[in-house]
Each structure stands twice: as C-alpha cells, then as structure tokens.
C-alpha cells in the first residue's frame, strides 16, 4: 500500500474512534463481533461482564450474520474513519491489510508485560497476530472446525447406537431416513459447506494429503487419488444433507438439538448452542473430533484487534482490555461458555465437558493443524467457499468440483 494512501487512511481513522471517556463510567469502548447466536451471546457476555467489572463500560457492537457478513462491515468502518474501539476477527490473515496500513494498535508492550510469548499455546496463535516482530491482536480462543455433532434422541428413535466415526455415521443414514430423520443438517452458506468439505477431506483423504493441499498448497495433491476419494465422499454427504433448508449454522445445530437431524459437521462453537439448550454432552449429544477417523484439530478461533485512535485515555483502555481478555479467569469463563479451548495452558479447565476435554487432549498431544484462516488469504478462502456453495447446492460432479478446487489451490496465495 502506498505511503500516501496509508497517511490518508491513518488520518481518517484517527478522527472518530467510537469510544468515550467519562469519570462516571470509566471508559466506554464499542466492541464489534459477529457472535449473535444463543451460545455466542452468552460467551461474549462473559467478556462484557469482566470489562464492566473494572468500572469501564462495554458497548456491545454485535453484527448479525456470519463472519462473511460482519468482516466487510468491520474492515470498511476502520478504513472509512469510523472505527470501533475493539473488534473480533479470526486468527490469521483477515487483518493483514489493516495492519500494513498502520490502522491497528501495536500490542507488543502489553504482550511482553503479560508474557504472552510463553503462555499462548500453541505459539502459532501469537504468530498469526505478529507482523514484522510486532503483535497486533490478542488471541482469545481456539476453535476447530473438524467436528461432527450427533443427536442421541435421533439415534434412539432409529434404534441405533450413536456412531463412533464418519463411516458408521454414513452407514446409519438409511435407518435415520427410515425413521423420518434428516441424516445431516447443513446451513446453506458456503463457509459452512467449506467446513464440512474440510472435515471430510481430513478424515477421508488423510492428514498427509490435507497438509499437502492446505499447508503446501500443492495442486497436484488436490488432483490426486486421496482427494478424489474425498470429493466422492462429499457427494455422498451432499445427498445426506438434501432437504436441510436452513441458512444460519446455529439453525442447523438446532436441528440436531431437536433431533430433526441426526448430525451436523460444524466447528466446536456449536457446543454453546447445546449448552444454552440445556443439553448435556454424553447424554443428549456426542461429538467426534476429526469425524472420529483422524482426531486432530485446527487452530482456528478468534482474536481481538484495536483500531488506533488519538485519545491516550482510550488507547490506555484498549490496552487494558487486551490484557483482560487473555487473563486466566476471563479465559476460563469465556471459553467454557463459548465451547472453545483457551489460548493459555496454565489455567484450570477441569470443569470443561467431555467434548472440550477431547479437544484439550488433542491439543496437549500436539494433534494441531493450522486453520484455513491462517493458511489462505481471504481472497482464496472466499473462492473456496464459493466453490463449496455451488458444489453442495447442485448436482456438480465430484470430478468437476475437484478440478475447480485444484485450480484454486494452484493459484492460492
């Protein structure tokens, strides 16, 4: 980005940080995020409660819709000179242009004071916040996408045991359908279909092939036999999701909660929905990381960024909030509600349920992959999501989808 453009952007961005300072309520900070489902709202409320308890005020800037809806709004506000005081984005490359334009606050001093380099685990999460040796975000959780969530009531109705892996799930689909149950719930949005595609390829193509494509961006592997098997498995999964006429991810989760569907492939943020519905892991639902075939997790998740502003009191409050979000007690309260894993390994998560314990064990055993948000640029990610939206909502052949996919990987940045 040219220096001229940078100075113009920085000039506009400095004008209107949405935050105010008053003696009575301390500092009011507007915080944007896209956490609007029941479970997400409960979780972000833990952040708000913690910030309000410091005598400051959390002004909630929830943006309805998925990240794909919220991110352009967030980014255009920052670039357009109407920045919030803090915002959630995913770990990884979503903010790289904002950082390069000098529009986000350097958190390096807070990170050093909080010893983030030694407490953030895996350290790749901090790496995803770092550019030219400076830290520009505070990681707050680890979300992984390679999970399937299964309804015990649906399997009881079908007279079957709850599957222990993807193969048992696909084998159970006929009995679910005979019992009037949709086998696989799927929201009709490309990012959700891309999550299902990613989880199925990891389980069916295997980790080596997955690494070849998602880390090495090797189009030959994407064209190879392992991915051919994965694309054929996705066509079979597409048939199991036929008739899943919901949009938002949490509406698909609700189909599992109400046993309208037998299962959903979704990130572990689905846990928050089961929790607010009063459902208990192991009794009402089960979870299988890596679809039960390849128990690894990716290090997706969320981090908070702080647009620069010209008021030292607001800047001080932003830095205080950054430190608070990664503090031990807030990490426990937020992640237990969010269904995500904490970014620090020095806290007591013994009250986490069985699904989170599975994730924590995989993390401790090092079964960790980089998330797509870290591996691919936003442009490539959106191309991958658009392909999956087309693939899952049409009769596109496995071969055609695989050829188009390999083309995207070949040109991925």
Please report how close the Cβ of residue 375 comes to ligand GAL at its closest, in angstroms: 15
* Closest separation in Å from C-beta 385 to ligand GAL: 12
Q: Is 149 in the site for ligand GAL (CB under 6 A)?
A: no
Q: Does 67 bind ligand GAL (CB under 6 A)?
A: yes
Q: Is 334 a binder of ligand GAL (CB under 6 A)?
A: no
Binding of residue 66 to ligand GAL (CB under 6 A): yes
Q: Does 262 bind ligand GAL (CB under 6 A)?
A: no
Among 114, 163, 295, 301, binds ligand GAL (CB under 6 A): 301
- Binds ligand GAL (CB under 6 A): choice among 18, 31, 40, 309: 40
d(CA 231, CA 229): 6
Which residue's CB is nearer to ligand GAL, number 94 or number 309?
94
Size of site (CB under 6 A) for ligand GAL? 11
Q: Does 249 bind ligand GAL (CB under 6 A)?
A: yes
Dist. CA 271–CA 297, nearest whole Å: 15
Kindly tell me which of 57 and 90 has the beta carbon lying closer to ligand GAL.
90
- Look up tokens 């997400």; give the residue: 40
Q: Check binding of 269 to ligand GAL (CB under 6 A).
A: yes
Least CB distance to ligand GAL at residue 251 (A): 12
d(CA 159, CA 156): 5
* Residue closest to ligand GAL (Cβ): 269
Residue (231 or 334) nearer to ligand GAL, CB: 334
Residue 238 within binding range of ligand GAL, rule CB under 6 A: no
Which range, of 32-40, 107-115, 323-331, 404-412, touches ligand GAL by CB under 6 A? Answer: 32-40
35 is a contact residue toward ligand GAL (CB under 6 A): yes
Asked if 376 interacts with ligand GAL (CB under 6 A), we say: no
Positions in the binding site for ligand GAL (CB under 6 A): 34-35, 40, 66-67, 90, 143, 249, 269, 301-302
């Amino acid at each position: 980005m040219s220096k001229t453009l940078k100075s113009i952007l920085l000039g506009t961005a400095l004008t209107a940080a949405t935050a105010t300072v008053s003696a009575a309520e301390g500092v009011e900070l507007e915080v944007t995020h896209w956490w609007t489902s029941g479970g997400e709202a409960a979780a972000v409320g833990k952040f708000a409660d913690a910030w309000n308890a410091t005598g400051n005020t959390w002004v909630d800037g929830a943006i309805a819709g998925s990240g794909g809806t919220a991110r352009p709004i967030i980014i255009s506000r920052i670039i357009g000179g109407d920045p919030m005081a803090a915002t959630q984005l995913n770990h990884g490359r979503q903010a790289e242009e904002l950082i390069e334009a000098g529009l986000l606050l350097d958190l390096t001093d807070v990170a050093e004071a909080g010893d983030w380099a030694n407490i953030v685990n895996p350290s790749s999460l901090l790496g995803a916040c770092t550019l030219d040796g400076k830290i520009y975000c505070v990681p707050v959780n680890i979300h992984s996408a390679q999970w399937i969530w299964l309804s015990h009531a649906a399997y009881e109705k079908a007279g079957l045991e709850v599957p222990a892996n993807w193969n048992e799930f696909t084998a159970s689909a006929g009995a679910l359908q005979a019992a009037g149950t949709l086998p696989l719930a799927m929201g009709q949005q490309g990012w959700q279909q891309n999550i299902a595609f990613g989880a199925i390829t990891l389980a069916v193509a295997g980790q080596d092939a997955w690494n070849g494509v998602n880390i090495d961006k090797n189009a030959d592997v994407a064209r190879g036999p392992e991915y051919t098997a994965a694309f054929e498995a996705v066509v079979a999964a597409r048939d199991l999701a036929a008739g899943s006429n919901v949009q938002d991810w949490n509406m698909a989760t609700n189909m599992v909660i109400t046993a309208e569907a037998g299962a959903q492939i979704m990130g572990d943020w689905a846990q928050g929905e089961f929790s607010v519905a009063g459902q208990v892991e192991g009794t009402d639902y089960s979870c299988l990381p890596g679809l039960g075939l390849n128990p690894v997790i990716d290090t997706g998740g969320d981090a908070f960024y702080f647009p620069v502003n010209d008021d030292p009191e607001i800047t001080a409050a932003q830095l205080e909030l950054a430190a608070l979000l990664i503090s031990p007690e807030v990490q426990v309260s937020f992640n237990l509600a969010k269904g995500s894993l904490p970014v620090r390994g020095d806290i007591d998560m013994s009250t986490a349920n069985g699904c989170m314990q599975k994730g924590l064990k995989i993390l401790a055993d090092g079964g960790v992959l980089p998330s797509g948000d870290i591996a691919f640029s936003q442009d490539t990610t959106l191309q991958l999501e658009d392909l999956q939206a087309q693939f899952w909502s049409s009769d596109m052949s496995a071969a055609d989808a695989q050829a188009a996919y390999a083309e995207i990987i070949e040109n991925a940045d």
